[in-house]
Homo-oligomer: A and B are copies of this chain.
Amino acid sequence: MKMKLSELAGKLGLTLMGQDRDVSGVGTLESAGPEDVTFLGNPKYEGLLAGCKAAAVICTQEHAAQVASALVSVNPYLDFARLLALITPQQGCLCGVSDEASVHPEASVDASADVYPFAFVARGASIGPRSRVFPGCYVGEDCIVGADCTLYPNVTLMAGTVLGERVMIHSGAVLGSDGFGYVETPLGREKIPQVGAVLVADDVEIGANTTIDRAMLEKTIIGSGTKIDNLVQIGHNCTFGRNCTIVSQVGVAGSCTVGNNVIIAGKAGLNDHLDIGDDVLIGPKCGVRLSIPAGKRMGGHPAMEYTTYMRHMSLAPQIPDLFKRVKKLEKELAALRAVAEEGDK
């Protein structure tokens, strides 16, 4: 959508320095054209300003004089993110509830919500104001989808899932699948019916094809502001605090309790029934077998303190050499001992 730089500056609370122009798009310092806005987030790219063709650059005061038009910001990256939200349209091309959707007569869909063709909303489910349910989504019995949520295509919410406000779930994610629980009997295993649910608080984002199992009896909980990447597995009965960051392909086994502001990097795995304190950082591919107190940074498999892990990482390629060194020591020591014993005689 076309907008004047001065209008954008007003909406973003920034100062326009230089010429006012119409802008309609965005780009990088290198790719932006004469109708685009770009940004200088990291001073190390300052050299690109000279050749930049953008209509305007969001930058700090320090760099404003180097460009024809600047939107002066104390945090250019943040203001560029806000600009993206202003000038790029959101995905989707529908308003209202499609005739081709299947909405149970006892479900409730807010008048301002969008429900696309081939979405299914079961008995007792409710869809809040301005929420959008894309094609192929399944909203099971008694689910509650709060206001301003987005369910991208082919998302499954099994019965009883509750979403707060502004929750965004990417395609193919599954919330409320059965936890993996069996009881051994003399005649083989029996499934433990999983009758709990999944509760997702406000401002959570959940990545594509991620799976979050329902609790056995109570709730699997994702705290507000927590962001979960693609292909993550969260087991039954887990509780995550606020503002956690769970990167792609992480697996968290059942009944873990994770605090606030915890970061779990890609492909890390947590055993079941662990207690992870606030502000913990767990490194990529880390294998966590024990609970971690608040504030710790851990890495490796098994999980170790980050400094130990970093030394471990740098030394690991030298382990074959270490075997050689120890073998050499053994030989030399044997030789010395032989000499010493010889001397004793």
In contact, A26 and B304 (Cβ under 8 angstroms): no
Interface stretch of the complex, out of A60-68, A274-282, A326-334:
A326-334
With A77-B183, A91-B159, A227-B180 as known contacts, state yes or no: A120 contacts B122, CB within 8 Å.
Answer: no
Contacting residues, chain B, for A317 (C-beta < 8 A): 300, 302, 304-305, 308, 312
Copies in the complex: 3
In contact, B243 and A189 (Cβ under 8 angstroms): yes
Nearest CB on B from A69, distance (A): 19
Within A89-130, the residues touching B (CB, 8 Å) are 91-93, 98, 100, 102, 104, 116-118, 120, 122-123
In contact, A102 and B135 (Cβ under 8 angstroms): yes
In contact, B302 and A316 (Cβ under 8 angstroms): yes
Within A115-159, the residues touching B (CB, 8 Å) are 116-118, 120, 122-123, 134-136, 138, 140-141, 152-154, 156, 158-159
Within A251-276, the residues touching B (CB, 8 Å) are 251, 253, 266-267, 269, 271
Number of interface residues of A (CB under 8 A): 113
CA distance A235 to B289 in the complex (A): 28
A1 interfacial contact with B, CB 8 Å: no
A48 interfacial contact with B, CB 8 Å: no
CA distance A142 to B285 in the complex (A): 37
Residue of B nearest to A138 (CB): B153
In contact, B227 and A248 (Cβ under 8 angstroms): no
CA distance A170 to B218 in the complex (A): 20
A19 interfacial contact with B, CB 8 Å: no
Residue from A31, A120, A152, A333 with most neighbouring chain B CB atoms (10 Å): A120
Known: A134-B138, A247-B253. 10 other contacts (CB 8 A): A75-B185, A88-B193, A91-B159, A93-B104, A138-B171, A170-B174, A180-B247, A230-B233, A301-B301, A302-B313
- 8 A–B contacts from the bound complex (CB under 8 Å): A27-B218, A88-B193, A102-B117, A118-B118, A171-B177, A180-B207, A207-B211, A336-B336
A-B pairs with the 8 shortest C-beta distances? A138-B153, A84-B193, A177-B208, A156-B171, A311-B320, A174-B208, A120-B135, A102-B117
